[in-house]
Chains A and B, each alone.
Chain A
Amino acid sequence: MSAPAGPMTEHVQGMTIQRSRLQGRDGDLLTVNFGPQHPSTHGVLRLIVDLEGEVIRGLKPVIGYLHTGIEKQMEALRWQQAVVLTDRHDYLSPPINNLAYALAVEKLLGVEAPPRAQVLRVIMSELTRLSSHVVWLGTSSLELGAMSAFMYGFREREKVMDLNEEISGFRMHTSYIRPGGVFADATPRFLEMLDAFIREMPRNVDEYENLLTRNPIWIARTKDIGHLTPEDAIRLAASGPMLRGSGINWDLRKDRPYSGYEKYDWEVAVENGCDCYARYLVRIREMRESVKILRQALDSLPPGPVNIDDRKILPPPREELETSMEAVIHHFKLATEGYSLPPGDVYVAVESGRGENGCYIVSDGTHKPRRAKFRSASFVNIQALEQLALGSMVADLIAVIGTADAVLGDVDR
């Protein structure tokens, strides 16, 4: 080809298009930029795609548009203050992030939350998983053109938000699960609302399935799209529905149980399709399993305190402050200085709606973290995007991104 070397840049409709002529391949490659502000990239993800006609020949995700400096900010805060930041990285599953952090701190301190708190933690985790999955269902089906699932999904999300509000006073960033226990005990109204929610949720999942599972358009757009073999899934360390959609039976709640997950009777959702449709089915089945766990947790909620009885880690109850000098001193110490963790490092992982949500903390013996790192499922799953999309049509990219279910706040932290 006698075309001039180097790409030619054109500006069309606010997009920068680079036309490049690569040698050794048939035809021209068109380099198109998607994002970071694009309606179907599921957040501020930017993709640089090389297209040959409609076929993707190269894909480069560019991330960092939501880099928030959470890990650095945590180093400047005390151990108990840092909880609020954990809410905000994977913003579709705040209580699960809290849980990872709280478990890590507790593991280093060598304490364990009381039984009632553990069950409440499970309840909040499963509620969050449900709300995360319905938001996923709504947004990714919206991106693929199915508008009604969005409406149904957000209807159920509102119910979870109401439950969050009832138990913690806030809709999204609850900071409900904290080192040493939970923020407050469940109110009787919460338990009633939860009971009603559990009763009606299976029917709602049926409704989603009626909309999508046998919908020919949905099947055409997701089946055999975005193939990820089990070997590749492990090689790329994919987790959550990405891993289970490729036929690997691995769920942290079963395989490395925490917070008493081993006590509940439920099944890991595994599908062998290795494609976007399988990942969709995994999520739908997970919703049903979550409802099962919620029912068992609600029925087995033991009485007792929801916080450990350790004045060095958690402030004394309000009533004690009026009568006991010691309580005031403890409160003052905690409010001004916080507590310190023994030196060391620890890694704890929990299963979020997106996969393995891990927290690695390093303490140098002071009252602030030396280092806190989040092993985020989205960051790792997005890394697999190139593998999933190469060779497929450009329209299928949307399905692939959608079913990878990355939360960009979690990718960039």
Chain B
Amino acid sequence: MSQQIPPAAVLAEGMIAGDHWIQVQPEQIRATLSRLQAEGFTYFLFLTCVDHLATPLLQQPPQRFELVYQLRDLKQRREIRVRVFLPEERPEIASVQDIFAAANWDERETWDMFGIEFEGHPNLERILMPEDWIGHPLRRDFPVGGEPVDFSEDHETWQTAPPQA
């Protein structure tokens, strides 16, 4: 990793299937992303969340929600993934939409779909679901919904509650 990010901020670092990633503390996200931007990672690809509820993994993730920021350096053609773990109750993190303007809608989508709060976002409101919708659909404990299908394998259980582990 670069010399410019203070090593204390990076909790872990690695490569997975050829992708480079680092993990930082949630409080450090703004500092990390602005440093990466200064280093040349100027192109914001996406931001999303992964819900690790009841994961079957042996090595349990530290918290339920994992936020993933993917950045790209257009000049040197490299990419980096920044991971942050957020707790189950009141997941919130500082908004980065003033650093990367492209993160604006991604943050709204992540709020809409996962209920992650982004402090300092100018209009954190639902973007895909209707405004009066209740719940955050992409959380693992939100049922898939729809109509039950006769003779289908395990979709039926998913429609009321996703399998726990």
Q: Given A63-B127, A346-B17, A365-B56, do A373 and B104 touch, yes or no (CB 8 Å)?
A: no
Nearest CB of B to A298, in Å: 29
Task: Tell me whether A383 and B104 are in contact (CB under 8 A).
Answer: yes
Nearest residue (CB) in A for B70 is A347
B141 contacts partner chain A, Cβ-Cβ < 8 Å: no
Most buried by A among B50, B140, B142: B50
Nearest CB of A to B70, in Å: 6
A217 contacts partner chain B, Cβ-Cβ < 8 Å: no
Task: Tell me whether B70 and A360 are in contact (CB under 8 A).
Answer: yes
Query: How many angstroms between the C-alpha atoms of A343 and B59 in the bound complex?
Result: 10
Nearest CB of A to B159, in Å: 8
Tell me which residues across on chain A come within 8 A of B55, comparing CB atoms. 364, 370
A312 contacts partner chain B, Cβ-Cβ < 8 Å: no
Query: How many angstroms between the C-alpha atoms of A375 and B126 in the bound complex?
Result: 18
Task: Give the total of B residues in contact with A, Cβ under 8 Å.
Answer: 42
B64 contacts partner chain A, Cβ-Cβ < 8 Å: no
Tell me which residues across on chain A come within 8 A of B68, comparing CB atoms. 345, 360
For chain B, what secondary structure do more than half of its interface residues adopt (helix, strand, loop), or is it mixed?
Answer: loop
Task: Tell me whether A364 and B56 are in contact (CB under 8 A).
Answer: yes
Task: Tell me whether B19 and A346 are in contact (CB under 8 A).
Answer: yes
Which A residues between 221 and 243 are near B, CB-CB below 8 angstroms? Answer: 234-237
Interface string of B47-79 (1 = CB under 8 A from A): 010111001110000000000101000100101
A-contacting 9-mer, from B3-11, B26-34, B38-46: B38-46
Query: How many angstroms between the C-alpha atoms of A343 and B155 in the bound complex?
Result: 23
Nearest residue (CB) in A for B42 is A234
Task: Tell me whether A373 and B48 are in contact (CB under 8 A).
Answer: yes
Tell me which residues across on chain A come within 8 A of B70, comparing CB atoms. 347, 360, 375
B-contacting 9-mer, from A69-77, A265-273, A323-331: A69-77
Query: How many angstroms between the C-alpha atoms of A75 and B137 in the bound complex?
Result: 12
Task: Tell me whether A235 and B17 are in contact (CB under 8 A).
Answer: no
Task: Tell me whether A373 and B56 are in contact (CB under 8 A).
Answer: no
Task: Tell me whether B16 and A346 are in contact (CB under 8 A).
Answer: yes
Query: How many angstroms between the C-alpha atoms of A110 and B113 in the bound complex?
Result: 31
Task: Tell me whether A344 and B57 are in contact (CB under 8 A).
Answer: no
Tell me which residues across on chain A come within 8 A of B127, comparing CB atoms. 63-64
10 cross-chain CB contacts under 8 A: A75-B162, A76-B162, A250-B74, A345-B16, A345-B50, A345-B81, A347-B19, A347-B81, A380-B105, A383-B105
Q: Sorted from nearest, which 3 A-B pairs have the closest CB atoms?
A: A237-B102, A64-B128, A375-B46
